[in-house]
Amino acid sequence: MIALVDYGMGNLRSVEKALQRVGGKVRIVKSAREIAEADRLVLPGVGAFTDCMKNLGKQKLIEPLKEFIRGGKPFLGICLGYQALFERSEEGNEVGGLGIYKGSVVRFPQSQLKVPQIGWNRIEIKKSNCPLLQGVSDGSYVYFVHSYFPQPADATIACTQTEYGLRFASMVWNQNVFACQFHPEKSQSVGLKMLENFVKL
């Protein structure tokens, strides 16, 4: 069973439908017990980092999420669910995150490019052995909606990079933890392939 965490900030239905389309058995969950019982866990998210951490705290889900990750079962963070894995974010006065990865979430610098980045952009694959990237071609297009992005202290966890005025880690992978800044559920066949790979882990 794949648990999809509902903490009031995810586009749950589109993620749920995408996972079901590739063969996943999905349950939307809101409690520590339900998280602990899951075989795989997906933390989606759209919105502000501050609200994300506040909502997770209100529902007493911060420690259960950390425990699930420490337990070694597959975990996928999407967009805000990716950013939440880091120590802190510039958004909202350096609010603390889950601290799974060392590093900060920062805003795109002022440039001629529009912020937020909205739309299709390419991924450059840095780790072709990443299980979620099997069957995905280097240079594939995926769908982004974001103004902030993580800067991992350990650059080796980045398995894809994307250029938008600068290069940033658009996807990371370390052991059982996968996370992406883009939305696989909105990225058509490429995103569905990644989700299918996650379901099959």
Tens digit of each residue's pLDDT (9 = 90 or more) over 114-142: 999 999 999 999 999 999 999 999 999 99
Residue 78 contacts residue 183 (beta carbons within 8 Å)? yes
Predicted pLDDT at 95: 75
Q: List the catalytic residues.
A: 79, 183, 185
State residue 10's pLDDT score.
76
pLDDT band at 94 (very low <50, low <70, confident <90, very high): low
Span 13-62, pLDDT tens digits: 999 999 999 999 999 999 999 999 999 999 998 889 999 999 999 999 99
Give the relative orientation of helices 62-70 and 49-58 as an angle to the nearest 10 degrees: 90
User: 177-180 and 75-78 as β-strands: parallel, antiparallel, unpaired?
Assistant: parallel
Please name the amino acid found at residue 155: A
pTM of the predicted model, to two decimals? 0.96
Sequence-distant (≥ 6) Cβ neighbours of residue 9 within 8 angstroms: 44, 45, 46, 47, 51, 52, 55, 80
Task: Give me the pLDDT at residue 104, please.
Answer: 94
Q: Is residue 46 within 8 Å of 15, Cβ to Cβ?
A: no
Q: In terms of residues, how long is the chain?
A: 201
What is the spatial distance between Cα 120 and Cα 130, in angstroms, rounded to a whole number? 22
Q: CATH second-level architecture of 2-199? A: 3-Layer(aba) Sandwich (3.40)
Please give the Cα distance from 136 to 155 (Å, whole number): 21
